[in-house]
Amino acid sequence: MSGRQRIDAWAVKRGGLLRGALLALLWAAGPATTLGPVLAAAAGQGTPAGFTALFNGRDLSGWQGLVGGPPERAKLSPEELRSRQQQADETMRAHWKVVDGVIVFDGAGDSLCTQREFEDFELIVDWQIGAQGDSGIYLRGCPQVQIWDNPEGSGGLWNNKKFAARPLIVADRPVGEWNRFRIRMVGERVTVYLNDLLVTDDVPLENYWERDKPVYARGPIELQSHKTPLKFRNIFIRELPRKPPPPAPVLKRGDRVAVVGDSITEQKQYSRFIEDYLLACVPQLELSCVQLGWSGERAPGFAERLEHDLLPLKPTVVTTCYGMNDGSYRAYEPAIGATYAKALRDIVTRLRQAGVTVVVGAPGAVDLDTFRRPDLPADVYNANLAQLRDLARERAWEESQPFANAHDHLMVAMRKAKPVLGPAYHVCGGDGIHPAPNGHLVMAYAFLKALGLDGEIGTVTVDLAAGGTTATATDGHNVLSAAAGAVELESTRYPFCFYGEPNSPTATRSILPFVPFNADLNRLTLVVRNLPTPAATVTWGETRRFTREQLEAGVNLAAEFLDNPFSEPFRQLDELVARKQAFETALVKECFASFRRIRSLAPDDPAVEEAIATLRTKLLAAQERWQADARAAVKPVRHTLVIQPAE
C-alpha cells in the first residue's frame, strides 16, 4: 500500500470524509531590509551598512579609562567623578595605544570603555589574544562576554550563575589569530556569534554587581583588562530602538499551535516532536497542535494561502519555517533577501492583526558533506540561509515576537557531531537538505525554546534518613508509596523519550550529545537526601550508579535513563501523532486546496460557498477528533524508582 493509499485509508476509517465528500462537493457545484553586510564586514572593508564605528582606526577618540563598576560610579558626586575620570584617563593613555589601526593593550592598567552609554544594540568587534590570555566585553557595564585562551572557548556569559554561562561550541581560532564577535543585546538577553558560529543563544545577562537586580538598562561598552596583552580592531555598533519584549508566557492554557513551513515541515518530524512535547511534557496546558507543511513552498506562497488554509483552523500561536527554498539554491543576492523579507512582513503583520502570536523561524541549514551541488558549495548556501536567518530575526524583533533559530542550532550540532561520528553522519539529511530524525530533533529544540518552555518536567525528592524512606514529588507526579528505598509513582507528565542507535542519523538518541535538549527542555530530576553511603545504584528501567554528591545535587532521569518506563507510552503517542499529522497534510493539500480551485470554477456562487462551508466544518470536526484521541493517549504511567545504597 502506498503512502497516499495509507493516508486515504486512515481518512476513510475516520469517517470517509476526504475523498467522498470532495466528490460530492464537486457534483453539487455543477457548472456553475537586511543585515547581510554585517557578515561580510572585515578589515579594510569599511563600516557595515547600518552601523557606526566606535573606533576610528587612528586614536582613542570616544573612549576613556574605567572608573569602578556602575554601583561605585553612581555613588560619586559630579566633582568626584570628574577627578576619578581624569586619573583613569591618564592611566588608560599609558597602557592603551593605537598602532597601525589596531587598539593595543600592554597588559597593565584598567579596562577601556566608551564615553557613551548604550541601550539595545548590535556590536561587531575583532579581537586577538595571546597564550594564556584573558579578557572580555562588558555590556552596559556588566561582565561579560568572555575572551580567553581556554578549552571552554570564548563567547560565553561567564559570570552568569542562573542562566547559561558556557558557549554552545568552541569557535575560537588559534591563539594569535584574529577572531570576530557579533553581539546582539536586546533588553537583558544576549546573542553572541564567534567567527560566524552561534555560541550564546538569547541568554539573559545577569547583573554581576547587584545580583538581586536586572542588568542595567543602559551603560558603556568596555574592553576588559585582565592583566594580559590584547588587541582590538573593527569595532562597530548598530543601536536598536527599544521594543516591548515578546509575550511571556508565549503559550497559555488552551492555545492552538499551528506549525507552518515547506517540505521540511511536511516531513512531519520536527512538527511531530513539537506536538509530542506539548501533549506529553506539558499536558497541564491543554494545548492542541496542527501542521501545515507544503513541499517546495516559499514564504510568498504561504502568504497567498494563509487566509484559506491556516485561519480556518483558528490558531492562537503559529510557528513559521521558510527560507530553504526562498534562497533559490544559489549565492545570496539582495533581491533574494528583499523578496523573502517582504513576504515575512506580510505574513507576520496579517497574523498579528488576527490576534495570533507568531514564532518567526529561521530557515534550516544544508549539510556540510551530503549537500553536493557542483556549482554551489554548502558553505556558500549556508551563508545565504544565514542572511535569511537575520531577516527572520529582524522581523520577529520588529513585531516583538519570538524567534526560533533553527539554522544556527543545526550548524552548531553539525560542527560538534561530525568530528565525533564522521562526515557521513548527516545532520541535515542524506540529500543535504531534508533532515533525518536527528536533525529534526534539533529543529524541534529551537522551536520549543522559542515557545518559552522552561524544561521542568518534575522533581522527585527521596529522603533516606534513619533507614527509612520518605518521598515527595512536584505537580504531575504523585507518590503512591515509599519503603526500603523503593518509591512508586503515578505520573501524568512524561519526559520526552528518545530512540535508536547512538551513531545513526535516523536515531534521535544519536544527536543528544550535541544539542542541549535534555538540559534545557527535559529535566525530570531525582534528588536523594541523607544517603548513608558514598554512592547508590538507581534502578528505573535501567540501573545506574551515582555518587552521593550527584544525587544530592539532582540527577536528570530523562538524560541518564534513555530506556525508561515512559519509553513505550511515548512511542505509542508519537505513532498516533504521526497518523494525525498525515491526516492534516491531506486535509490541507487535497481538501483546502481543492476548495480554492472549486471557487475559481464557480465564483460568487452561494450554493458552492454553502457546500464548501459544510464540508469544511465536517473536516475540521474530524481533525478535532484526531486531536482528542492524541490528547487522550497521554495516560497516567505508574513507575518505580529503586535507590540502593552502595559503597
SS3 148: strand
Q: Render pLDDT for 590-643 as a digit per residue (tens, 0 to 9).
A: 999 899 888 889 888 899 889 999 999 999 999 999 999 999 999 999 999 999
User: What is the bridge-based pairing of β-strands 637-646 and 486-491?
Assistant: antiparallel
Q: One-letter amino acid identity for 35?
A: L
Residue 280 predicted with pLDDT over 50: yes
How confident is the model at residue 603, as a pLDDT? 87
Radius of gyration of the chain (CA): 28
In this prediction, residue 39 carries a pLDDT of 43
Q: CA triplet 333, 43, 141: central angle to 5 degrees?
A: 100
Structural domains of the chain sorted by starting position, each given as residue range(s) with its CATH number in brackets: 1-32+455-647 (no CATH), 40-240 (2.60.120.560), 256-453 (3.40.50.1110)
Tell whether the model's pLDDT for residue 87 goes beyond 90: yes
* Cβ neighbours, 10 Å, residue 618: 12
- Residue 567, pLDDT > 90, answer yes
Distance between CA 246 and CA 244 in Å, rounded?
Answer: 7
pLDDT tens digits, one per residue of 178-189: 999 999 999 999
Residues 411-415, mean pLDDT to the nearest whole number: 98
Work out whether the CA dihedral 386, 388, 393, 394 comes out positive or negative. positive
User: In degrees rounded to 5, what are phi and psi of residue 190?
Assistant: -125, 135
Q: Is residue 351 within 8 Å of 313, Cβ to Cβ?
A: no
Distances (CA, A) of 8 to 2, 11, 17, 588: 10, 5, 10, 14
Q: How far separated are the first and last CA of the chain, in Å rounded?
A: 57
Q: Regarding predicted confidence, which is higher, 474 or 45?
A: 474
Give the whole-angstrom CA distance, residue 249 versus residue 48.
35
For the record, the C-alpha cell of 169 comes out as 561550541
**401 pLDDT more than 50:** yes
12-70: pLDDT as tens digits: 333 333 333 333 333 333 333 334 444 443 444 689 999 999 999 999 999 999 999 99
Question: What per-residue confidence (pLDDT) applies to 117?
Answer: 97
Of all residues in the chain, the percent with pLDDT exceeding 90 is: 89
pLDDT over threshold 90, residue 5: no
**pLDDT at 46 (0 to 100):** 84
The answer to whether the predicted template modeling score (pTM) of the entire model surpasses 0.85 is yes
Taking Cα atoms as reference points, which of 237, 227, 63 lies closest to residue 136?
Answer: 227
Cβ 596 vs Cβ 306: under 8 Å: no
Residue 349 confidence (pLDDT): 97
Q: Is 151 exposed, middle or buried (0-12, 13-18, 19+ CB in 10 A)?
A: exposed
Residue range 377-400, pLDDT digits in tens: 999 999 999 999 999 999 999 999
Average pLDDT, the chain: 92
608 with 597: CB under 8 angstroms?
A: no
Backbone angles phi, psi at 642, to 5 degrees: -120, 120
pLDDT of residue 468: 86
- Calculate mean pLDDT across residues 86-112: 95
What pLDDT, on the 0 to 100 scale, is given for residue 45? 61
**pLDDT above 70: percentage of residues in the chain:** 93
